[in-house]
Amino acid sequence: MQYQSTRDSSVSVSAAQAISQGISKDKGLFVPKSIPDISAELDALCKLDYIGRAKKVLGHFLTDFTEEELSACVEGAYLGKFDEDEVAPLSKVGEDAYLLELWHGPTCAFKDVALQLLPYLLTTSAKKVVDGKKIVILVATSGDTGKAALEGFKDVENTSILVFYPEDGVSPMQKLQMTTQEGGNVSVCAIEGNFDDAQNGVKSIFTDPALAKKLSENGMMFSSANSINWGRLVPQIVYYVSAYCDLVADGEIKAGEKINVVVPTGNFGNILAAYYAREMGVPIARLICASNQNNVLTDFIRTGTYDRNRDFHTSISPSMDILISSNLERLLYHLCDNDDKVLSQWMTSLTEQGRYTVDEKVKERLQSVFWGGYCDDAATKETIWEVFAKYSYLCDTHTAVAVNVYGQYVAKTGDHTKTVIASTASPFKFSGSVLDAIDPKAVDADDFVTAGRLSEISGCPIPRALRELKEKQPRFAGRCTRDTMEQVVLGMLGM
Ligand SMILES: *Cc1c(COP(=O)(O)O)cnc(C)c1O
């Protein structure tokens, strides 16, 4: 399996090269040249556990990894790291819907599923293509990626990691999770600005040839733990395949029966993984893209025009406060039949004018698979309350956006196809907003007191990783601006 760049189809690299490098030199993203078809294997996959399914699915994409290497990666990532070794369990809510709980890992958000595996994929890849070089991971985070990446890469030999987070764009629990991070190879820095500023800054550091040369002379190279890295996306395909298999194995659906999938979306990585699962032959009918009031994707899916020229809103679902969804570039590349010229024009227009409009063919293809919807903070809270009142189920703010948009979809279309809704974080990561939705008077200024009350009301335990934060001291207090990010990077590397 070879990988192309979305901005230059003539680029052709192995999976190991794509994963080590993170992003193509032309600023394009790596995509598989063809998408493997697993429809004939689904019956067999249904009989395996999560780890077995992961090995099979990854094997189709990482053809330059040996079977032993893949096994070591997958087992290292998932054995003993998730609550009761359940990486992606389903919870039924109502007649037709299932929440796919992706937050049972060490940092309580779905990012763990990919970021527990990525360090293994990356170090195995680096051995193949750039042996001996130290990998420097730069991360821009809207809150959850940062912590999950720090936890995945801490003390991994021959790597160091630096995370930038928007100063006022993360929850108190998320901030504390990052600033108290342990490990000898980790750094964390706040940036004045929002996630898009952090992500743009990191992207331009990555693709600066002078910096790359400087690093290379010092025996280092940059890579990315953001979902622009193929190694971040490919582990996420597995849980959609696995969810389908679980529904069949549990008798909830018949083999071959179609399902819909709803994903609370920010950078478009998670829903793109569901798209790949669909293209691989998993019987998925519709992909429902749920946004908060930063509804640039809703408008795009409905009109074919992507326009980031709008106010940026800070919401109670901060991991979705994004106006430039990087991974949309991969989807559009596939939808325009790998036309790197057209795609590059749209992306240039996005950089220069902040907008682009796709052609009719691409818009039709987009709308034949995707449905977009959004809701604001008030509706998100109402949904948290409703789900709790109806099903005694506590969902976080991001998951609630997805549940709300799913409700809108059913009301609009009358489509009662069985549906998997991605549940992306533990409610205790956003205790203040979640408790505010259920019993506003109980919210305390101290997030730990609030979490304790939420636990009492719901009967759900606070995850240990969050409980233990209370005892930890912050280690990182650094701040920078978009213009001084590069200095921070060089400073960390002692250059
Ligand atoms: C990152 C994140 C999202 C958005 O996922 P994308 O892959 O960026 O679309 C949604 N919910 C939570 C809790 C997240 O951490």
pLDDT digits (tens, 9 = 90+) for 276-295: 999 999 999 999 999 999 99
**CATH pick for 90-106+231-466 out of 3.40.50.11540, 3.40.462.10, 3.40.50.1100, 3.20.20.140:** 3.40.50.1100
Q: pLDDT tens digits, residue range 363-413?
A: 999 999 999 999 999 999 999 999 999 999 999 999 999 999 999 999 999
When pLDDT is cut at 50, 70 and 90, the band that residue 26 belongs to is: very high
pLDDT score for 421: 98
Does the pLDDT value for residue 170 go beyond 90? no
> Distance from the CA of 289 to the center of ligand 1, in angstroms?
12
Summarised one tens digit per residue, pLDDT across range 242-275 is 999 999 999 999 999 999 999 999 999 999 999 9
* Span 54-64, average pLDDT: 98
Residues forming the active site: 111
Q: What does the pLDDT read at residue 164?
A: 96
Instruction: Enter the pTM of the model.
Output: 0.95
270 lines ligand 1 (CB under 6 A): yes
| pLDDT confidence bin for 203, thresholds 50/70/90 | confident
Q: Is 268 in the pocket of ligand 1 (CB under 6 A)?
A: yes
* CA 425 / ligand 1 centre spacing (Å): 9
pLDDT at 6 over 90: yes
Q: Which of 99, 110, 322 to mutate to test the pocket of ligand 1 (most atoms within 8 A of CB)?
A: 110
What mean pLDDT comes out for the span 303-312? 97
Percent over 90 (pLDDT), the chain: 92
- The domain locations on the chain are 90-106+231-466
- pLDDT mean over 143-171: 93
Q: What pLDDT sits at residue 84?
A: 84
Q: Mean pLDDT in the chain? A: 95
Which residue's alpha carbon is at the smallest distance from atom 8 of ligand 1?
Answer: 267
Distance 266 CA to ligand 1 centre (A): 5
**From the alpha carbon of 425, which atom of ligand 1 is closest?**
13
Q: Is 160 in the pocket of ligand 1 (CB under 6 A)?
A: no
How far, in Å, CA of 319 to CA of 195, rounded? 9
| Residue 207 binned pLDDT confidence (cut-offs 50, 70, 90) | confident
pLDDT exceeds 90 at position 447: yes
Judged against a pLDDT cut of 90, whether residue 329 lies above it is answered with: yes
Please check the confidence at residue 8 and state whether its pLDDT lies above 90. Answer: yes
Ligand 1: centre distance to CA 73 (Å): 23
Q: What is the pLDDT of residue 168?
A: 85
